[in-house]
Structure 1
């Protein structure tokens, strides 16, 4: 059993794992039945900001990545941002994100603990913010006049978002769709709070985001 991550490392590893779970695995890397699905050494994003956030998190975790951009489409052009973990770092990367996901999920889903440490009271809401930030960056945004939602194929991540919304003081709903789950919050104060809490503050000079 690997040792638990410190809070700072956990925050980055959990957010990176959430970003990964938002995205389908590239076709050539899809596992056979019964194989472990996460984490993949290659991930493709259709948004540059999601790819840049993933790259930033992995660099802070000392996991170098190669960033490739390809352009497709005829009338409607689109970009695909592919991040590839270097072969010599893949074992450590896989372990780090697995531990980050399991530990972060456990912290979020656990019932509030009376007398919790100051660090836990500070960091658990930060994990909740990271989960929503990842979903809004890399998930399928489903914005309507009355809701802010994200489409996900990962059931566990959907459950984490529901719990994270509760920890942030917002009520979220989960609806199954065709091949996916829709997690949404109501328009108005709930939507504004989720967007505010999941937006990164500008980094000060000399500080990482």
Structure 2
């Protein structure tokens, strides 16, 4: 029997188990997952949301799969990595990561990482917020864009750097993340997807520099 990987999130009164470095890693992993899989949420009888991440996820880029594997390894989540090649004239690769059984904390980690990270980014500026808090929000913003550029549908033209996504919430997070990195972004709905783009030039260069591991603002999960 396959594992269900169901796990209830902690209540609002329960202290969060993720420190800032762990939050950034969990948030980026959740963003990578949302780039390729719509989240599955069901309701418990008592009304609490229960999130079920997929047992396996496929990326069409090896670096995206390796990044996801690296992030999950920080939480001692064991995964297997399978590579498949297909196509005739146009060859393509698929990289499938499968979570090993009996790891119930996997679901809770992704849920908490996404909820807290999204809340930090979409919440308004806090009066008197410290420089450290602003830096950490910028790190979350960079993590969201790094995930999207690795696993989203890259849409690069001479005048824009963009990504196509099917997840509306992630698209909104990217727009806000760009603003936190001092880059204006545009969100355009398309057929079955959303295109988030920034203009080529100083803005796109700032995004690319911020998403490099170890870039400024200093990374804490590289």
TM-score, scaled to structure 2: 0.84
| Structure 1 equivalent of residue 74 of structure 2 | 60
1:6 to partner: Cα distance: 1.0
Higher helix share: 1
Does residue 1:85 correspond to 2:93, yes or no?
no
Q: Distance in 1 between matches of 2:71 and 2:134?
A: 22
Aligned residue for 1:112, secondary structure, equals coil
The answer as to 2:146 corresponding to 1:133 is yes
**Residues 63-114 of structure 1: per-residue CA shift (max 9 Å, x gap):** 111111111112222111000111111x210110000000000000111112
- The answer as to 2:137 corresponding to 1:124 is yes
| 1:188 matched to 2:201 | yes
Which stretch shifts more, 73-82 or 176-185? 73-82
- Equivalent residue in structure 2 for 1:42, among 53, 56, 60: 56
Q: Do the aligned partners of 1:12 and 1:61 also contact (CA within 8 Å) in 2?
A: no
- Contact between 2:41 and 2:52, CA under 8 Å: does it hold in 1? no
Residue number in structure 2 paired with 1:199? 212
Structure 2 runs not aligned, ≥5 long: 1-10, 44-48
**Alignment RMSD:** 2.2
Whole-angstrom CA distance in 1 between matches of 2:40 and 2:115: 20
Whole-Å Cα distance in 2 between the matches of residues 49 and 124 of structure 1? 24
Calculate the TM-score normalised by the size of structure 1.
0.89
Specify whether residues 92 and 186 from structure 1 end up closer, same or farther in structure 2 by C-alpha distance, changes over 3 A only. Answer: same
What SS does the corresponding residue of 1:82 show, helix, strand or coil?
Answer: strand
